Amino acid sequence: MSAPTDSDKRAYFLSLEGSRDGHSIPLAELLERLRFNDQGLAPVITQDAMNGEVLMLAWVNEEALIQTLRSGQMTYFSRSRNKLWVKGETSGHTQKVVDVRIDCDGDALLSRVIQEGSACHTERRSCFYVQTQPQANSAQINSSLSLDALPSEEL
């Protein structure tokens, strides 16, 4: 049997839209149909499983994703170093995987983790610390951003 084409992969995820909660599918089948970009990568948003805070955006290739699922430690693909990296292998700031979710198109992932230490290489908790302020025509560094800190009319 030949590898699924991009069209086959799209059709597969489209077929899942009608599935009911609790419907189970083989993991190997799902992984075979993930849609990686031309460089063999897919974006992964990493979120704190305890409070929902978005910690970072990075990339995985198929090997990084499989290693993540097997080890329970978040593994990414570094585009700048052109190799796999396990979060925390040098910094000690680890990400224990709670679960990995795949979007409805099969081309983006959400990893929910238990973060130990900082997620950002700047030693900040989250990589998303630059807050735009369009009304003031500026942006501000704010390392303690959270949805709770926003005025309700901004949500």
Instruction: Tell me the pLDDT tens digit for each residue of 3-56.
Output: 889 899 999 999 999 999 999 999 999 999 999 999 999 999 999 999 999 999
> Whole-angstrom Cα distance, residue 72 to residue 97?
5
The 8-class DSSP code of residue 64 comes to H
Structure tokens, 23: 């419907």
Query: Is residue 149 predicted with pLDDT exceeding 80?
Result: no
Instruction: Tell me the pLDDT tens digit for each residue of 84-110.
Output: 999 999 999 999 999 999 999 999 999
Instruction: Tell me the pLDDT tens digit for each residue of 66-81.
Output: 999 999 999 999 999 9
Instruction: Tell me the pLDDT tens digit for each residue of 111-142.
Output: 999 999 999 988 888 998 888 888 888 898 88
**For the chain, what is the radius of gyration of the CA atoms?**
18
